[in-house]
Amino acid sequence: MNALLWKLGAATLICVGLFLGGYAKGRSDARVAVLADTVKAYKKRTDVDAKVRNMDAADLCIELGGLPDDCEQLRGLEQNPR
């Protein structure tokens, strides 16, 4: 009877250890996935920022959905330096 309890206790500890190991691995994998997505979003934002920075007022107006005839009025206007 005593040996059976030891075996049952050892099996329970092994199962708990495997569960906790899998749980920790899952959390780690999730963190890595979130960080990878964050890096991708940052790189995409950097590309978009560079594209927008290089646009003049008329091109930006058209990109944001303005009508080309209305946006052409913005071409050639200079922004006031800050």
Question: Is residue 2 one of the residues assigned to a domain?
Answer: no
The answer as to whether 56 is a domain residue is yes
Tell me whether residue 18 is in a domain: no
Residue 4 inside a domain? The answer is no
Number of domains in the chain: 1
Query: In this predicted model, what pLDDT tens digit does every residue of 13-68 receive, in sequence order?
Result: 999 999 999 999 999 999 999 999 999 999 999 988 888 888 888 888 888 888 88
Closest CA to 56 of 42, 37, 72: 72
User: Does 62 fall in a domain?
Assistant: yes
Specify if 28 maps to a domain: yes
**Residue 63 is assigned to a structural domain of this protein:** yes
| Structural domain that includes position 39 | 24-76
Domain annotation covers residue 71: yes
Distance CA 64, CA 50 (A): 16
pTM (predicted TM-score) = 0.51
